[in-house]
Amino acid sequence: MSIIIGLVVSLASLIGGFMAMGGHVEVLIQPFELLILGGVASGIFIMANSMKTIKDTMVGLGQAFSNAAPKQDYYLALFALLFTLMREMKSKGRNEIEKHIENPTDSDIFKAHPKIMKDREMVVFICDYFRLITIGNVRPFEIEALMDEDIASVTRDQMKPYQALSSIADGLPALGIVAAVLGVIKAMGAIDQSPEVLGSLIAAALVGTFLGIFLSYSLVAPLAFKIKYVREKNIRRFAIVKQTLIAFMNGAAPQTALEYGRKMISTSERPTIDDVEEKSVNASFENPAVLAEAA
């Protein structure tokens, strides 16, 4: 919604200011200049990126428009799952936790948190590192280094749409000049026409430069940064799990380990300690599935 509002404000200010200066809006309607600019930019985008990145960019744009980033209820569900798994490992031993991490789709612990079960990347991440912990001879700093590499790899993949759109945004002003030059070439071909006709052709050519600059700084670049913002928030959820598990491996109690993870969340979205305790710790003890496991 913020993208739509921002775009409407930008267009209203642009067109309103132009009309207030006495400009005629119809002069700005140059579909062929837009075709040249958009077509060349699209072609460059396709040449410069793999099909996977192109598809992921479309997904990223959808995430940007819907602001598809984890909310507080997601974090609370994540803490509840982590607490239950850590408590089970601490109280029953590492062998008992294997059946949950080897087949999470059949695990009562995982099924008790459907919001996390829908996040397949997170389920795989959690199971992979709990599996390493159960091995028993891996030291915390080694797992931490592996997690850092894993998160860095995820970050590189997740930032490809941002980088791809940023490159297009950087090139659009120059492509606008290309469109303008083609328009000037057309105008020079009509140099023997009346000043009114020639002026109209030159104005149409200059619209190409205008469109290149406007689309770059007022549309493509903001969309790229919005994708980066949303995806950085999504990547943060892996860092939360990392801090929680490393604290647990270093000897912190499960409830204390959650606090390490909680501190990784932005202060504007961070749940309180009481919320974490109520939704994670207390709820875990009251969960019928967990009680059945304990029995």
Q: Tell me the pLDDT tens digit for each residue of 94-134.
A: 777 888 888 999 888 899 899 999 999 999 999 999 988 88
Residue-number span of the structural domain to which 255 is assigned: 30-295
Cα distances from 62 to residues 66, 76, 102, 120, in angstroms, run: 6, 25, 33, 19
Residue keyed to tokens 């209203």: 12
Q: Which amino acid is at 226?
A: K
| Confidence (pLDDT) at 224 | 96
pLDDT band with cut points at 50, 70 and 90 for residue 151: very high
In a domain, 44, yes or no: yes
Helix (H) or strand (E) holding 126: helix 120-135
Q: Of 199 and 161, which is predicted with more confidence? A: 161
- At residue 88, φ and ψ (nearest 5 deg) are -65, -40
In a domain, 20, yes or no: no
How many separate domains does the chain show?
A: 1
Share above pLDDT 70 across residues of the chain, in percent, rounded to a whole number: 95
In a domain, 193, yes or no: yes
In a domain, 22, yes or no: no
- Decide: 71 and 265 in contact? Cβ < 8 Å: no
| Confidence (pLDDT) at 2 | 82
In a domain, 119, yes or no: yes
Q: How far apart are CA 262 and CA 79, in angstroms?
A: 8
pLDDT band with cut points at 50, 70 and 90 for residue 51: very high
In a domain, 180, yes or no: yes
Query: What is this structure's pTM?
Result: 0.85
Q: Tell me the pLDDT tens digit for each residue of 232-256.
A: 999 999 999 999 999 999 999 999 9
In a domain, 14, yes or no: no
| Confidence (pLDDT) at 154 | 95
In a domain, 16, yes or no: no
